[in-house]
Structure 1
Amino acid sequence: MTRCQVPAALIHQIEQELDKEEDEIMIFLCRDLAPDLATADLRELLAALNDREKLSPLGLSELLYRVKRFDLLRRILKTEKATVEANLARCPRLVPDYRVLMVEINENLEKEEVGSLLFLLRDYAPRMKMAKDKSFLGLVIDLEKLNLVAPNQLDLIEDCFRNIHRMDLIKKIQKYKQEALMSSVHSQPVYVNALQASLPNLSLIDPPYNSGEKTRNRQSLIQGEPVHLSIQESGPMSHKVFDDQYRMQSQPLGICLIIDCIGNDSDMLEETFRDLGYDVHCYRYLNMHTMNQTLQEIARLQKHRNCDSFICILVSRGSPQSVFCTDQTSSGFPLERIKKYFTADSCPELLGKPKLFFIQSYIVPESEQECTSLLEVDGNDEKIISNAKIPWKVTIPQVADIFWSQCKVDVSTLERSPSSPSYYLRCLAELLRNPHKRKLSILDIHTELNREVYEWNKTIDPSQQYSLLLQHTLRKKLFLSPT
């Protein structure tokens, strides 16, 4: 036994003292430490961690602290609660903050509230087993297997808590998110998707594009359906995680919404995205009121449920934070609002699916903007105010699975060449029509797009140059072709 291990007798003594609920909590806390033992009992799990030198006396004291067995800390490990807290403040922790958060939430939920959560989640996870005696932690594990919940993907749980009026738990999640942004990702143990943890012997090598059976098997796993593996598909785990790419197999791949308030780009864009396999909805010359109605109608379409992605392309005059559409006198329609129509809380059918936005903004100088009215948007009685003095960061998407590409150019570009298409959108269409470039991930395609646009900038007057900004919260690789 090495110095960092603990005696087997100590593990046995502690395991005998814990009740069934405490066992469940401790196993949940350790899921990421031994993903191949996701179905093991507590004694087997602790013994395996000990053999792998992952369970030190300090780690064992942390686990007892997390299940609030302070009596065992004192009686068996000969330490005190305050000592453990001091160690947690200065030493690397055994358990990720995400799992600690879930355990804290579990402690604060009544049985009836867990039942309400199970009911609310029927719309999101219809295949999930809805056992009446399921605990909140068991519910979290099921959602992890469906890739609906992860350390950086808690919006669904937040929405459920909002429905049962547990704002105190929402505040806990928001505090965790803020602290996660401030801390280094390397300070926490690696998170392992619960589905991966439950299938330790499954080979996770991505199938070739012409292997329909393997592709169907992989999708069945995501949907929680049984999978029949051939001998060739079983074996030791690959280093490549099976869900490192977004699924792009639906027909159509998704809805592509094009709103062209200038009129120079819609034909080219419509042809490009229809050829890619999208159901294209194209609108020209909308005012802000009509655009708002259109966005709401598209966001409410049930067709999103059967599609794997969504694309929105918007071409308009505006400010860096808003679009004016065809209106002449207005404060503008906030870009942030456009994005929010399609996030998971507003459009649950797109939960976990990539949502791409390509915005061509022809920037009107502040001196020429006439901000004499405010745009009031339906829903939540919320007045959305866009102002050119608001910092740029307000348009940065903060939720998962968003790809936000915005190109700005001075509106004088239109005055010089009223019928010329956007060079940014023209390059994007050419890249997506190129059979070789189309095989690249969307991030690689955008890198090529950056290169071409900035090469173009070298040849023109500085006042006519394009400025690109990319912000994204994609969690996987995205290819705009069937995978």
Structure 2
Amino acid sequence: MDIRRNKMDPRYKEILRQKRRDLVLSLDPSDVYDGLLSRGIFTDDMIDEIKTSGPRRAQVRQLVRDLETRGSRAFTAFLECLRETGQDTLAELLERGDSAPVPLPVLLPVQPSLIPLPVPWNPVDFKKPERGDAPEKLIPLKPKTLPIVSPGSVDEIGIPRSPRLRSDSIQSYKMDARPCGVCLIINNVEFDAGSELKNRTGSDIDSEKLERRFRSLSFHVIAKRNLKCKHIRHELSTLAKMDHSVYDCCVVVILSHGTEASHNRFPGAVHGVDGPSVPVQIITNYLNGQNCPTLQGKPKLFFIQACGGGDTDTGFEVSPDEVQQTSLRLDEQTDAIPTSSSSDSLSLSDEPDARATLPTPSDILVSYSTFPGYVSWRDTNTGSWYVETLDRILENNAATDDLATMLIMVNNEVSQISAKGLYKQMPGSFNFLRKLFYFQVFKA
């Protein structure tokens, strides 16, 4: 059946035209391509044509124009795609048809200036100055310290909050809240038979290690096990809707099978236990500055223990001085399924928008257990190479080193390990943080 047989309702066309500017400013079209394709709204050729129409804003304009020609279901399908990819604000804007809400900026308390004021001359207390006498010294009045008002004493998940002063600096993020923030851990171990994915023996060890580690770093940890694809999205949406006003950061850890996925910022995707996957780019979108205003300007950290593809790495020969002595891993499994994605998935190109705000992906760091396109190894008895090493580095170095430095340590140690004496693994990260990040290690 021709999808265009029933034309789009004129009201929907008018909404798309009225809100085109908001869509051009905020929408990342690559997030909705797959959804519109799977719903039969667009064809592969149409999406290719949109992609080649120019930079991001040009693609959005072309996408909106094409939507108006794709029949009565196109508008509703577009709203569904926006909600599935965590862009609820845009979906609600189109549903209401009114102006887009402007996110409130995160304001830092302003320290009062000390302004010297003259003390009025009183003839009763002082002798009137004669000509030629030295002028009276001006006595500065010390202003009172302005109180910092906390949004609340207890948050929605029952964690006590205490008022505190911000200690942001150009060099490092503020990290003195207790708890520092929420840490969501999604641990997929047992996969449905129809998914053709093996169970991930040893992943519970990873989850338990990271639960203990992030609690010790003063995070409120929420651990979820064996989530289907739609439930992964639900947990991320719930996390994004929480009030993070008095927290300093947010952490998401995902332990699952993985694969490659098309993207323009963050590669890879993680599978639900039912088989379908969620792209890492969409996972990060839930917590970006647009979709989670209370985390604006604050670091959002993602740790992904999953394969980035199906390739195995046998490494290359180096001199003995370059290799540290490490144990041989014999009982290993990978967290990958075969993939047919092209090497184009490694592209990081994106159009920078000139706006009076922080860029949408700012303050985000995604740490991957393996290089995009390659498998990630997991020991069935001790857990994954990546998590085991990350946990140890955090234990030994969190009090002294910043996160980027510690991740380089993780990269180096994991690169020295061999599976079955042959296969290698190389972790890495996509770092869009604007400052150094130090975990706050509180003394007991």
TM-score by length of 1: 0.44
TM-score by length of 2: 0.48
